[in-house]
Amino acid sequence: MDVRRGDIKRQPICDYMLFVTFFPQLIAGPIVNYREMMPQFNNLELKHIDYKNIYTGFCIFVIGLAKKVLLADTLGQAVNWGYRELHLLSGFSTILVIIFYALQIYFDFSGYCDMAAGIGYLFNLRIPVNFISPYKAENIPDFWNRWHITLTRFFTRYLYVPLGGNRRGRLRTYLNILIVFLISGIWHGAGYTFILWGLLHGIMNIAVRIFHDIKKHLPFIRHEPPVSGKLRKILAEAVTFAAVSIAWVFFRADSVDQALTLLSSMFRFHEPGTYGELATFFDLQEIDYIFKALHLEGLVFVPYFSMACHCLISAWLIWGCKGISETGEWPKFKPTLLKCMLYCGLLLWCLLSFSGVSIFLYFNF
C-alpha cells in the first residue's frame, strides 16, 4: 500500500523479505513500518558488535520475561479459575478477577514487546515502543495514545485518514472513530465479544470528545472542578482504568452471556467471598521457601500475603515506576556489577519458574 500511494519506492525482493521476516516482532507486534526499519538494516555503522546495546537489550529482555512469567502467568491462573467458576464468585472477588485480567493482559503483551525490543537492541536495531504507561491515561483517547501504540498508528494511517479523519465535520469524525474501533474489534477476533469490546471503546472515545466539545461552549462547565490538580489526575486515571477493565471483560469472555454474568456478579456482596480460592494461585514455591527458611511454613495467611505482594508489585510497576518516559524512550541502563547480578538473578528466577506450556495472550488474536 505504501508503494501504491507513492510513500516509498518499489524495493528489491530481498529487502522486502528481510522486512517481513524480522523475527522479534513478527507474531504479536509491535507493528513496524518499512521506512523505520529498512534504513537501520542498511546502515553499515550498525553492523558491528556494540556491548552497550547488548547489555541494554539483555536488561530489557529480562524485564519483559519477568513481566510474562512472574506476573502475567500467575495472574492468568486466577483469572482462568474465575471465568471458569463464575457461580462461586462474590462481588469483591469478581472485581479482583476483572482487575487481575487487566493486569495480566498488560504484563503479558507489554512483556512480549519488551522482549522484542530487547532482541532488537542485540542487533543494534530500535523497535518502536508499544506501551507508555497506558493505565496512567486520564481518558480513553489518552489510553489509546499509550496502549498498543503501533496498532493505533496503523489504523490511523491506513483506515482513519482514508475515511476522512476529522476533516469532514464532527459527525463524520465520530462515525470514522466508531468504524475504526469496530474494525479493531474484528481485527482481534471474529466474535460478538470482540465486536462489543471495539464498540465500547469507540463509544467511550466519542463520549470524551463530545464532552470536550460541549465544555468549550458552555461557560458554567468550562472551569476546572474545585479539586487539586493531583487529585483530579488520580480520579481521572481511576475512572479510566475502571472503564478499560470493564471493557476487557468482553475481550476475555468466551461469550456475551459469560461477560454479562461476570459483570452482574460484581453486585453479589451478600454472598461469602472466594478469596481463599483466588489466593491459592499466588502460593508460589519461591514464597514457600522463604517462609520455610523462617520456620513459618503452614501459616494460613501465606497465600494471601503472596497475592498482596503481587498486587503491590503490579501497582508499583504500573503507577509508581517511571519505566519508559513519556517521550517513548527506554531509560539508560548503566552497567554495574550489582545491576548485572540483579538481572542475572531475575533471569534465573524466571527460568526456574517455567512450568507447563505458557503462550502469550496476543498469539490467539
- Grid cell for residue 81: 479459575
As a whole number of angstroms, the distance between CA 130 and CA 28 comes to 11
CA–CA separation, 140 and 142 (whole Å): 5
Provide the terminal-to-terminal Cα distance of the chain, rounded to the nearest Å: 23
Quickly list DSSP for 276-299: HHHHHTT--HHHHHHHHHTT-TT-
**Which are the catalytic amino acids?**
188
* Residue 224 near residue 215, CB atoms below 8 Å: no
Residue of 346, 319, 284, 333 lying closest to 63 (CA atoms): 346
Cell numbers 472485581 label which residue? 95
Residue corresponding to grid cell 479459575: 81
CA distance 226 to 18: 56
